[in-house]
């Protein structure tokens, strides 16, 4: 049997994390990053891809892969809408969530 009290604590922890997130967003909502052309173009291609099929039941690994693909597509959207190409690189302002998601995927 699972200790329900721990989930009450986790819910409170989640509220504190959200409060911290509001302060972070107010301070660093967007970050400017410079990306090589190849990864920038791959991100834009992910945004432009049609993924309208039903997902169905997924394993945890499959969910994470789809979540990462979604994060990549959002970066592609940001590049499409506001990226500035400078030679073989693009400079784009990303929301801190997108930048953080990319960083977490690299770990």
Tens digits of pLDDT across the chain (107 residues): 567 888 899 999 999 989 998 888 888 878 999 999 999 999 999 999 988 777 788 899 999 998 999 999 999 999 999 999 999 999 999 998 899 999 999 98
3-class DSSP state for residue 49? Answer: coil
Query: CA–CA separation, 39 vs 64, rounded Å?
Result: 20
pTM above 0.85, yes or no: no
């Amino acid at each position: 049997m699972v200790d329900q009290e721990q989930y009450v604590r986790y819910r409170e922890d989640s509220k504190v994390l959200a409060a911290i997130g509001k302060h972070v967003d107010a301070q660093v909502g967007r970050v400017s990053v410079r990306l090589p052309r190849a990864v920038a173009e791959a991100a834009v291609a992910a945004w432009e891809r049609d993924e309208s099929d039903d997902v169905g039941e997924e394993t945890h690994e499959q969910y994470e892969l789809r979540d990462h693909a979604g994060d990549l597509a959002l970066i592609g959207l940001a590049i499409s809408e506001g990226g500035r190409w400078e030679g073989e690189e693009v400079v784009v302002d990303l929301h801190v969530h997108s930048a953080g998601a990319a960083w977490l995927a690299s770990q």
